[in-house]
Amino acid sequence: MKKIQLFITITALAFVLSSCEYNVENEDVVIDPCETEVSYGNVIRPLIDSNCMPCHNGDGNTPFAPDLTNYNSVQGIASLIKDVTQSGRMPKNGSLTEVEKDAIKCWVDQGALNN
């Protein structure tokens, strides 16, 4: 009788343990923010207009502030823009969200296209 109880207990325990599965759905999924193409006209230009124009408007009043009023000037220093926004050095009078920083990074990594 004890052998049967031991067998039933071991079988039940084996069943319970084997029914536990590794649930991938509950794990944090890392989504690549650069999965889709970032648009200069729809995403980057508005970010520049709202965050950079006080100093980078090309009027010459802010020393050492590159003019970011047009695509060609932005594209020419795209890697620098990526570096200073990723590090948090820019914008000086505000801050970018992680989503905005990711958009800039992705746009530059995708070739800083005029799209």
- In the chain, beta strands by DSSP E: none
23-32-101-99 Cα dihedral, nearest 10 degrees: -50
pLDDT tens figures, 31-70:
788 999 999 999 999 999 999 999 999 999 999 999 999 9
pLDDT tens figures, 60-92:
999 999 999 999 999 999 999 999 999 999 998
Report whether 112 contacts 72 (CB < 8 A): no
Alpha-carbon gap, residue 63 to 44, rounded angstroms: 23
Alpha-carbon gap, residue 98 to 37, rounded angstroms: 17
Question: Sign of the CA dihedral 85, 87, 90, 95?
Answer: positive
> Whole-model pTM?
0.72
- Inform me whether the pLDDT recorded for 21 exceeds 80: no
Q: What is the pLDDT of residue 30?
A: 74
The burial class, CB within 10 Å (0-12 / 13-18 / 19+), for 36 is exposed
Q: What is the pLDDT of residue 10?
A: 63
